[in-house]
Amino acid sequence: MTRADPPPVGPGPLDAFQWSDNQDKLGGMNQTHSAVQRDRRTKTSDSPRRHVLDPIDRVSEVLFGLIMVLTFTGSLSVAASGRDDVRAMLVGALGCNLAWGIIDAILYLMGCRAEKWNALVTFRAVRAAGSPADGRRQLAEALPAALAGVLDDDDLEKMRLRLDKVPEPTEPPRLSRDDWRGALGVFLLVVLSTFPVVIPFIVMSDALPALRVSNAIAIVLLAMTGYAFGRITGRRPVWVAVSMVVLGAVLVAMTMALGG
């Protein structure tokens, strides 16, 4: 989940429509809309193999899973808790993260589908433009502001002309294998982030030391998450790690106070 340097420029904004027979010609307009709709999904790997989930996604899902499980462990009253209470807490924490892992995976697939449809809408809008200037404007509006700012009319015109030569997709947008893999990754990150925090309650019979060990593990995981986020965003990882621990504590306290 790390990215200390600015991300390399990936496939051009004309790489699109991975669901159709024309995917080799169209390339990645879908990635253009990914950048517009969800800038956080910027691909950062130097490897030709594209990561299904980018670093920001992975950090976010782990943080989400940790916050959810901490609301359960933090609500445990160690002074009056017996094994039945600990067992109920474990079942609740695991069940909650399992449910939210499924929900988050479904939302991820919905976002992927929406991006593909948005790419198709932009593709058709550029081709149906009343003039070359209007087509260039449609392209510029679809691009991230940072990228559109460095492209001149000649660059945009080359893209427009290439799109004019691409046949209309014959099939509606479909979820790709990578989309399903990404949804599975989202589910696993949310669910698996539960286990390090609850394991002390499983292997230790005394709730008080188990809670202390669990909290220590949670602090370490939050710090690691913050450190990774700091490297991704180009900020000081140590300071972001400390901030993430504080933010995690505030979010947990707020969630518990609101009855979450």
Return the pLDDT at 52: 67
Query: Is the Cα torsion angle 196, 202, 204, 205 positive or negative in sign?
Result: positive
Kindly provide the b/e burial profile for residues 114-153, where b requires at least 16 CB atoms within 10 angstroms of the residue's own CB: ebbebbbebbebbeebeeeeebbbbbbebbeeebeeebee
Contact between 195 and 201 under an 8 Å Cβ cutoff? The reply is no
Give tens-digit pLDDT for 63-97.
888 888 888 887 776 555 667 778 888 888 888 88
What's the rounded Cα separation, in Å, for the pair 88 and 83? 8
What confidence category does residue 260 fall into, taking pLDDT thresholds of 50, 70 and 90?
Answer: low
The whole-chain average pLDDT of the chain stands at 76
Structure tokens at 32: 């253009």
Contacts of 107 (CB under 8 A, 6+ apart): none
